[in-house]
């Protein structure tokens, strides 16, 4: 199948599924769902097919570094949201992501050190973000909501994969982790109830443990097992860790439930 056709079909399908799941199960679960590499995994997949295994392995290392930048995004948004609206909160969080990403872009990175730094940064961020569980607030969403999310996701994947030769593998991997969908979910939650924004971010941070597992396994295996084998192993690792993070989320917030229809 043509790679462009894959990009135009796989990415929006993944994002639509994640968005609908988030609507069904509420704020924290929506953040937890988008913690999975829904954009960065397709980016890595297409980079592996188009640029080769070594390039994809380097991009996976960049994606892991990007998870640390996402933790900075979450902390910055949560702290700013205590006294400001979603606009300033998003701006400060985006700057925090960019600064962290810039540092990680030039810093010497080794897989072992980044594999340790990712869970450590997520644990620290979980403590700093705070937030109590808030029941989902039913809202009437405009008809364009889901299509816009799908278009944004597809546009991001196309932009990164098509400019990968210029950006290089590490920057491609870092940019692919910008939390576009988590930002959208957080903004909608913030507009409905300020207490709900940290809940989305905590869900995202819990989901990023699976994200980290995916890219650690991918970086370790893609040059040995090829695209199919490496992505299968990475996906299995991510699902295993995601199951554990879901149990942790249920322990933390036992009264989470789906919103009333």
**Which regions in the chain score pLDDT beneath 70?**
1-3, 6-7, 18, 21-28, 30, 131-142, 160-161, 164-165, 170, 172-173, 176, 249-261
Q: What is the pLDDT of residue 114?
A: 87
Question: What pLDDT, on a 0 to 100 scale, did the predictor assign at position 71?
Answer: 94
C-alpha closest to that of 219 among 26, 30, 22, 66: 66
pLDDT at 41: 81
Helix axes 27-34, 180-192, angle to 10 degrees: 170
> In this predicted structure, what is the pLDDT of residue 30?
66
The two tokens of residue 148 are 């816009």
């Amino acid at each position: 199948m043509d790679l462009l056709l894959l990009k135009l079909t796989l990415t929006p399908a993944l994002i639509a599924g994640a968005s609908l799941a988030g609507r069904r199960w509420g704020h924290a679960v929506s953040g937890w769902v988008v913690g999975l590499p829904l954009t960065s995994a397709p980016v890595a997949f297409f980079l592996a097919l188009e640029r080769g295994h070594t390039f994809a392995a380097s991009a996976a290392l960049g994606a892991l570094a990007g998870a640390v930048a996402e933790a900075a995004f979450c902390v910055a948004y949560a702290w700013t949201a205590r006294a400001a609206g979603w606009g300033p909160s998003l701006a400060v969080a985006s700057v925090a992501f960019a600064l962290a990403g810039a540092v990680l872009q030039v810093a010497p990175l080794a897989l072992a050190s980044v594999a340790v730094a990712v869970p450590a940064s997520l644990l620290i961020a979980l403590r700093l973000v705070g937030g109590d569980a808030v029941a989902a607030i039913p809202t009437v969403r405009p008809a364009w909501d889901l299509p816009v999310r799908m278009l944004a996701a597809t546009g991001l994947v196309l932009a990164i994969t098509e400019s990968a030769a210029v950006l290089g593998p590490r920057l491609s991997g870092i940019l692919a982790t910008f939390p576009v969908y988590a930002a959208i979910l957080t903004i909608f939650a913030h507009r409905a109830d300020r207490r709900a924004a940290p809940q989305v971010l905590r869900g995202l941070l819990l989901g990023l443990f699976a994200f980290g597992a995916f890219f650690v396994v991918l970086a370790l295996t893609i040059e040995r097992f090829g695209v199919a084998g490496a992505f299968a192993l990475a996906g299995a690792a991510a699902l295993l860790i995601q199951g554990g993070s879901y149990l942790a989320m249920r322990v933390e917030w036992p009264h989470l439930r789906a919103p009333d229809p």
